[in-house]
Amino acid sequence: MSGTFAVLVARDLRLAARRRVDVVLPIAFFTVAVSLFPLGVGPEPQTLRQIAPGVVWVAALLAAMLSVTQLYAADHADGSLEQMLLVPGARISIALAKAVSHWLLTGLPLAVAAPVFGLLFDMSPPAIGSLVAGLVLGTPVLSLLGGLGAALTLGLRSGAVLLILIIVPLCIPAIIFGAGAVAAVESGLSARGHYSLLGALLIFTAVLAPMATGAALRIATE
């Protein structure tokens, strides 16, 4: 199982290196979306600091949903997904590998870029650190749930719209806890509670989402 997982992650990363536009598109969307808010809201520093966590998290969610819609589509179209599912016990490995590769290509770059946008919104260094820590814990949840949505809507017309309707409500707790950690730090309080809830949410999702995704893939390819 671990060997299959490593092979699939390496395969997805190699394929992404050949389709660089697909990799850059979510990051570009995130950058544009976050950068437009100071122009629309105004240059008031206090206002920017208040809205910064929510803006960054919502933009990260939308960027993740933008890139996750095609997570299984190419493999399903060329028949390679059916071949991978023939390997005994490979469904969970496929789901985990897809989620990990999606996070490495989308979630991790967003977390790395977050400090730049924190400065754009005039956030303090502790708040920026809290924002990055929350994204590191929370963006894998978005990738895991996005993979589940991509499997559920595989091969359906208007699958991207259905994916958003199904998955976005499930991602709301991650947004609440992630933004709440930054708000706690800005107020001089400890953010450990929010980090603990994000960590628990990540563990819960990492255990259940791959199994549900594997079942959805089996149904979609039958």
Structure tokens at 21: 């536009």
pLDDT in tens, 40-78: 877 787 888 888 888 999 999 988 888 888 888 888 887
The answer to whether the CB of 168 falls within 8 A of the CB of 57 is no
Domain of 190 in residue numbering reads as 2-221
Answer for the pair 173, 204: CB distance below 8 angstroms, yes or no: no
Lowest mean pLDDT segment, chosen from 51-55, 138-142, 156-160: 156-160
**26 SS3 class:** helix
CA distance 4 to 171: 28
Residue pLDDT, tens place only, 163-218: 888 888 999 999 999 999 999 998 888 889 999 999 999 999 999 999 999 888 88
Sign of torsion over alpha carbons 173, 178, 183, 188: positive
| Structural domain total, the chain | 1
pLDDT of 104 > 60? The answer is yes
Across 35-39, 158-162, 197-201, the highest mean pLDDT is recorded for: 197-201
How many whole angstroms separate alpha carbon 52 and alpha carbon 113? 14
Question: Which two structure tokens, joined as six digits, stand for 189?
Answer: 């309080």
